[in-house]
Each structure stands twice: as C-alpha cells, then as structure tokens.
Amino acid sequence: MSKVLIIGAGGVGTVAVHKCAQAPDVFSEICLASRTKSKCDAIAAALPRPIRTEQVDADNVPELVSLIKSFQPDLVVNLALPYQDLHIMDACLETGVDYLDTANYEPPDEARFCYQWQWEYHERFKERGIMALLGSGFDPGVTNVFTAHAAKNHFDEIHTLDIIDCNAGDHGQPFATNFNPEINIREVTAKGRYWENDDWVETDPLSVSEVYDFPEGLGPRKIYLMYHEELESLVKHIPTIRRARFWMTFSDNYLKHLEVLQNVGMTSIDPVLYEDKEIAPLQFLKAVLPDPASLGPLTTGRTCIGCLIKGVKDGRELTYYIYNICDHEQAYAETGAQAVSYTTGVPAMIGAMMMVTSAWRGEGVFNMEQFDPKPFMEQLNQRGLPWTEVFPTDSTL
Ligand code: NDP
C-alpha cells in the first residue's frame, strides 16, 4: 500500500496513471498534478477508481513542496518534461520523499542532455536517506534493464551493445512527432555520439545509417545512429563494454520534412524577434504541429525496441538479441495513448512499484542497471510489455 504523486498529464502520464490505477494493492492512493488541471481531470474521468488531481507549476519549488506536504506521497513520479527534473528533485530533497523520472535533465536554453547534473544530487539524496531512480521509461529504462539482465544471465563479459528503436507505426499525418515535439526534435537534430574504446566518437546528425532486419514480420528498415542518454550510464556501470551505440528508425517522409524545417530555421531554440516579441522557432513549431495525444486514435502498426549484444560466455563468442514489440492500437484501447507513450508509461509504473515495495532500494541517485533486473523483467511480462530473447547466428550490426 502506497501513495504516489504523478506530475505531468501528457501521453506518458496518461499511461502511468492508468497502470497504477490497475494495481490498487500497490498504489492505494494516486494524485495526478500538472500545469493544466483540466487535463488531469480528463484522465481521471477515464479511470476505474477515483484519484486526486491538482494544478502545479513544476518549475516552482515552493509550490511543489506545498503539494507534497499536503498529499504526503511515498514517491514522486516526474512525467513532466526534462526541464523540470532538478526542480522536482529539489522539492523531494526538501520534503524527504523518493523521486523517479524517465528522461535526464536538459537546460531549456541549451540543447544538451547528460546525467551529470542529476548524478551531482547523489550525496544530498544519500544524506537525506532518500532514493532517486533515473530514466525509468523504455529507452532509457527497459533497455538498461535488458542489458543488466544479459550481463547477469548470459555473458561473462559484454563487449558491444547496440540499442535499436523501431517505430513501425503510421499516424497518417504529413509530419508529426510521437512524443513532445520540442524534446523529440531537439534530440533528433543533435549530433550523434557513440562509445568506442574508452572514448566518445561524435558524428554529424543522422549521418550514419544501416539497415536492420526487425523480427516478427517488421522486416528490414533503415536505422540512424543517434546519441541517447542510457549510453552514458551503461558504459559507466558495465565497464567491459567496448562499443555502445543507439539507433532509431525514421521514415523518408519524416526526414524530408525535418530537413526543410531545419533549413528554414524552424528547429532552432535561439529566440528571434517577431512583432516586438521574442519567440523560439522550435516552440512556435511545437504549437502548430499535431498534439502527440491526438495521434493516439490514428496510429496503427507496432514498435520494436531491443538490445543487440555481443560478448563472451565460457570463453566462446556469443550474440544475443532481446526485444519487446508493442502494438499501437492495443495500447490505445487499453489506456487512451499510443505505443510510444505506453512503452514509457508502463516502465515508469513498474519502476515506481520496485521502489514502493522495496524490491529496489538504495539511498542516493541511481540508474536502472544498478539493481537486480529479475523482478522488473517479471513485471514487464505481466504488465503489457512482454520480451523475447534470441541468440542469432547471422546478425548484421
Ligand atoms: P507531453 O508533452 O505529452 O506531456 C508533458 C506534460 O508535462 C504535459 O501535461 C505538460 O503540461 C506537463 N508540464 C510541462 N511543464 C510543466 C510544468 N512546468 N509544470 C507542470 N506540468 C508541466 O510529454 P510526454 O508525456 O510525451 O513525455 C513525458 C516525459 O517522458 C518527457 O520527459 C519525455 O522526455 C519522457 N519520455 C521518455 C521516454 C523513454 O523511453 N525514457 C520516451 C518518451 C518520452 P501541459 O499539458 O499543460 O503542457
């Protein structure tokens, strides 16, 4: 029995609240708070049991502190945007409450993300006797747990890791992003980066690509090398990894639109003066693009996210691939949100479950791979994200 405060009423928040509401034995009381209270109320109205809803500005630490003091949760689940991470962590420190998120901190005025800002909270969380679990979504999140599971059960040493994220869904719109457009476009237009021989190698945005043959009928698709935050924590915590890369599929149509938007300056976060008002082009673009939540009922097809891992076991070389396939329409039918939100909201709920049941416990700031993967892997199978593992002989990457 526990009380959980969930902040952020977007696609991921919608799924996490649904999944927590489905587990009343674990989450006896739920409060959903966000910038726009009417969005919380709309989500609450679709649930099988009552929850509390509140308005909160998660950039305002005193406001957060007073909400936490009034609801007295055991855990705060941050499903707002990466910009809010440090403010919510500050409020957790002040009130002595555990913290969980799904994306690492990004400063709003600088398109750069890394764990350093949040890792620097470790000593303060430890002294306060509380725990922060970082990146409990799918990637980061499940991909970290998959890698920890492989390291524990199948390898003596992992040498290469390729995390491969495929969205084979179709929403029928000329151009739209499946989650927050501002965060998504900042990530996609950033330089690529991968880990090789104890160093980071930088690549131009979307300049490195391969074709990967996805399982279960999804077939061969073009994947692009990008930087993703879990690489940073995984190479730190699993030091045998010699090369770690992250890949994502994009349709030619998505890339064509993105190139044009970039060329005309619409993806920039540097403010421009328009009719005596400063606006960041990317924030304006977000305002004119389809709301990702509106894509839910339109999206068909499946996602496939997994880890292709190579290394040695008992002196022999081994290749291993573990993945989940998630169906957009099934995700929408269950929670009112498509698979990109579903694959993030379910692991957020499972991470919360690990914390409030003390299956995962620690004092300080932690990444997912630092805990025993077993109970999390079991819950993935039970809560809607089943996984499959294979030992391919003809892997391409
Ligand atoms: P959305 O944009 O759909 O939702 C974000 C929500 O946060 C909105 O309801 C928004 O309010 C609210 N919010 C924003 N700023 C504030 C604030 N200052 N105070 C209170 N509430 C605020 O995003 P998603 O649901 O798609 O994503 C949520 C998080 O999940 C993001 O951090 C994203 O990066 C992460 N993510 C992680 C993935 C993973 O696999 N690890 C994959 C996909 C996403 P309003 O509605 O009023 O704008």
* Distance in Å, CA 242 to ligand 1 centroid: 33
Ligand 1: does its nearest atom lie under 6 Å from the Cβ of 137? Answer: yes
CA of 60, closest atom in ligand 1: 18
Ligand 1 nearest atom to the CA of residue 57, by list position: 19
Domains and their CATH numbers in the chain: 3-134 (3.40.50.720), 142-338 (3.30.360.10)
Q: How far is the CA of 238 from the centre of ligand 1 (A)?
A: 29
Tokens of 268: 């920039």
Which atom of ligand 1 sits closest to the CA of residue 12? 25
- Compute the distance from residue 255 Cα to the ligand 1 centre, in Å: 23
63 lines ligand 1 (CB under 6 A): no
Tokens of residue 346, six digits: 């379910």
> What are the pLDDT tens digits along the chain (397 aa)?
899 999 999 999 999 999 999 999 999 999 999 999 999 999 999 999 999 999 999 999 999 999 999 999 999 999 999 999 999 999 999 999 999 999 999 988 877 789 999 999 999 999 999 999 999 999 999 999 999 999 999 999 999 999 999 999 999 998 999 888 888 888 888 999 999 999 999 999 999 999 999 999 999 999 999 999 999 999 999 999 999 999 999 989 999 999 999 999 999 989 999 999 999 999 999 999 998 888 899 999 999 999 999 999 999 999 999 999 999 999 999 999 999 999 999 999 999 999 999 999 999 999 999 999 999 999 999 999 999 999 998 666 7
Q: What pTM was estimated for this model as a whole?
A: 0.96
Q: Is the CB of 32 under 6 A from ligand 1?
A: no
182: CA distance to ligand 1 center in Å? Answer: 10
Three-state secondary structure string covering the chain: CCEEEEECCCHHHHHHHHHHHCCCCCCCEEEEEECCHHHHHHHHHCCCCCCEEEECCCCCHHHHHHHHHHHCCCEEEECCCHHHHHHHHHHHHHHCCEEEECCCCCCCCCCCCCCHHHHCCHHHHHHHCCEEEECCECCCEHHHHHHHHHHHHCCCEEEEEEEEEEECCECCCCCCCCCCHHHHHHHHCCCEEEEECCEEEEECCCCCEEEEEECCCCEEEEEEEECCCHHHHHHHHCCCCCEEEEEEECCHHHHHHHHHHHHCCCCCCCCEEECCEEECHHHHHHHHCCCHHHHHHHCECEEEEEEEEEEEECCEEEEEEEEEEEEHHHHHHHHCCCHHHHHHHHHHHHHHHHHHCCCCCCCEEEEHHHCCHHHHHHHHHHCCCCEEEECCCCCCC
Closest alpha carbon to 137 in 349, 332, 371: 349
User: Is the beta carbon of 10 within 6 A of some atom in ligand 1?
Assistant: yes
| Ligand 1 atom closest to residue 80's alpha carbon, by position in its atom list | 7
Nearest CA to ligand 1 atom 39: 137
Ligand 1 centroid–CA 180 distance in Å is 7
Q: Residue 80 C-alpha to ligand 1 middle, in angstroms? A: 4
231 Cβ closer than 6 Å to some ligand 1 atom: no
Which is the closest atom of ligand 1 to the Cα of 58?
19
